[in-house]
Amino acid sequence: MSQPKYVGKMEWPVAVQIGKGLEGAITSETEIGYVDGEKGWLVYRGYNIFELAENSTFEETTYLLLYGKLPTQKELDEFKQKLVSYREIPGEVIDTLRKVPKTTHPMAALETGIGMLGCLDPDADKCTMESETEISFKLIAQMATVAGAIGRLRQGKEPVDPDPTLEHTANYLYMTTGKKPDELMEKVMDVAMILHADHGMNNSTFTTMCIHSTLSDMYSAIVGGIGSLKGPLHGGANEQALAVLLKLKDEEDATRYVKDCIANKKKIMGFGHRVYKAYDPRAKVLGKFSQDVTEKKGMGHLYRIAKRIEDEVIAAYGEKGIFPNVDFYSGTVYYAFGIEPAMFTPIFAVSRISGWCARVLEYFRDNRIFRPRAMYVGPRDLTYVPMDKR
Ligand code: ACO
């Protein structure tokens, strides 16, 4: 059988400037949030993150991200009621999570749990604006329930049912620890959830949008986002940063650690950022919490070791624009509250689900499939060599 043949001369690509890691690439227009990396600003829908951290709540911030405005009391009450109504997850999801080996990283378990939620949702493949919006509400509520159940099961404990009388963050902590959080824990963790809710066109957000742009479905998009967030160069850095802190005895040890990393060109987890070349504003808020909370919980040494690392890294790399990022201090706060390090990145996902859904929905309104290209630099004009001639 004769095969089609190329006629004429193949046109090879000319060299173009590549933004490695898509540096400089603009995916779309957005009204959701903005990061000014030079000034160290983070803005959600026009509001500076410090304003929101001081005055808002996770539910209100989520409403803001989704709807583009602060809610009235009635709107907020209705929104919160909707989230509460979706908190419970099907028994099949818990049964599936029971089968996940205890050695599995909780982020992989979270992918499994959210994937199973999608399998059980008859509306998963409708892919209309209405269905995707409703699924977003479900996912914002249920990410917390799935993460809570994973945290319990990996410790050999039974999952705790959601408590409809608790606010979103308090309920998540209750489902994780089995105890209602005190006022300090609820407040600090709620602010941490606000700080993590959205952050420009970060890797996991882009992943969710990229998957959804094929008109796949919201669950698949969010499973992809969880997979991206899991990586140590992204959300997984919080767990890694704490692991380092726990190995260091004191501030002298911290200095030795940083000098060793510099000498051996090793990256220091919780520092540096693709966009921020100034101090990450989220790390400013979390650094202050770290100081207060670790002191109150008798773990002040953790903060002092972390602060020494920060001082040493800024002295060495500050001019290069390397400062602590959101993942550096968050782990000290969570650890001081008694949360297991493996559950730090799932906490991030419980919060970031708001930004993921808001941005997927925004892009979906005027969807076009994402499809970048790569610069081909491989061999050219080869002629096929039969097996016996190679
Ligand atoms: N420690 C030491 N040096 C660093 C660090 C760090 N944490 N981060 C960047 N650098 C240096 C690199 O070695 C490189 O130096 P060079 O120019 O001399 O080769 C330069 O800064 C640029 O680093 P890249 O990795 O190319 O920067 P990029 O923008 O691609 O990556 C990233 C950003 C992944 C966050 C990087 O800073 C990093 O790996 N940090 C550690 C992991 C981390 O904390 N991740 C969490 C980020 S926040 C989040 O995702 C929620």
Instruction: Return the domain boundaries, the chain.
Output: 237-336
Question: Going by DSSP bridges, is the β-strand pair 41-44/33-36 parallel, antiparallel, or unpaired?
Answer: antiparallel
Residue 11: pLDDT band with limits 50, 70, 90: confident
**Interval 103-115: pLDDT, tens:** 999 999 999 999 9
d(CA 302, CA 305): 5
Give the CA distances from residue 126 to residues 215, 217, 244, in Å, rounded to whole numbers and listed in that order.
10, 8, 45
Q: What is the mean pLDDT of residues 4-15?
A: 77
Residue 9 has pLDDT above 90, yes or no: no
Dihedral sign (CA 310, 311, 312, 313): positive
User: Per-residue b/e over 342-367, b at no fewer than 16 CB within 10 Å?
Assistant: bbbbbbbbbbbbbbbbbbbbbbbeee
Q: Is 278 helix (H, G, I), strand (E, B) or coil?
A: coil
Does residue 324 line the site of ligand 1, with CB under 6 A?
A: no
Distance 245 CA to ligand 1 centre (A): 19
Residue 15 has pLDDT above 90, yes or no: no
Does residue 318 line the site of ligand 1, with CB under 6 A?
A: no
Tally of CB atoms within 10 A around 130: 9
Distance 218 CA to ligand 1 centre (A): 30
Does residue 322 line the site of ligand 1, with CB under 6 A?
A: yes
Q: What is the mean pLDDT of residues 12-26?
A: 88
Q: What is the mean pLDDT of residues 277-294?
A: 97
Among residues 208, 185, 156, 195, the alpha carbon closest in space to that of 57 is found at: 195
Distance 238 CA to ligand 1 centre (A): 14
- Residue 202, φ and ψ in degrees, nearest 5: -70, 170
**Interval 137-188: pLDDT, tens:** 999 999 999 999 999 999 999 999 999 999 999 999 999 999 999 999 999 9
d(CA 13, CA 377): 9
Catalytic residues: 234, 273, 327
Residues in the chain: 390
Select from 20, 42, 313, 322 the residue to mutate for testing ligand 1; criterion: most ligand atoms less than 8 Å from CB. 322
Residue 13 has pLDDT above 80, yes or no: no
Residue 3: pLDDT band with limits 50, 70, 90: confident
Select from 264, 267, 317 the residue to mutate for testing ligand 1; criterion: most ligand atoms less than 8 Å from CB. 267
Distance 269 CA to ligand 1 centre (A): 9
Does residue 271 line the site of ligand 1, with CB under 6 A?
A: yes
| 375 exposure class (CB count in 10 Å sphere: 0-12, 13-18, 19+) | exposed
User: What is the residue with the minimal CA distance to atom 2 of ligand 1?
Assistant: 267
Residue 358 contacts by C-beta under 8 Å, 6 or more apart in sequence? 32, 65, 66, 136, 198
Does residue 235 line the site of ligand 1, with CB under 6 A?
A: yes
Dihedral sign (CA 140, 143, 149, 154): negative
Q: Under a CB-based contact definition with an 8 Å cutoff, are residues 146 and 87 in contact?
A: no
pLDDT on residue 5:
79
Mean pLDDT (the chain) is 96
How much is the pTM? 0.96
| 368 exposure class (CB count in 10 Å sphere: 0-12, 13-18, 19+) | exposed
**Interval 195-254: pLDDT, tens:** 999 999 999 999 999 999 999 999 999 999 999 999 999 999 999 999 999 999 999 999
Residue 88: pLDDT band with limits 50, 70, 90: very high
CATH H-level, domain 237-336: superfamily = Cytochrome P450-Terp, domain 2 (1.10.230.10)
User: What is the residue with the minimal CA distance to atom 34 of ligand 1?
Assistant: 233
User: Per-residue b/e over 229-257, b at no fewer than 16 CB within 10 Å?
Assistant: bbeeebbbbbbbbbebbeebeebeebbeb
**Interval 307-316: pLDDT, tens:** 999 999 999 9
Distance 273 CA to ligand 1 centre (A): 6
Beta bridge partners of 44: 33, 47
Does residue 276 line the site of ligand 1, with CB under 6 A?
A: no
User: Angle at CA 65, nearest 5°, toward 61 and 69?
Assistant: 85
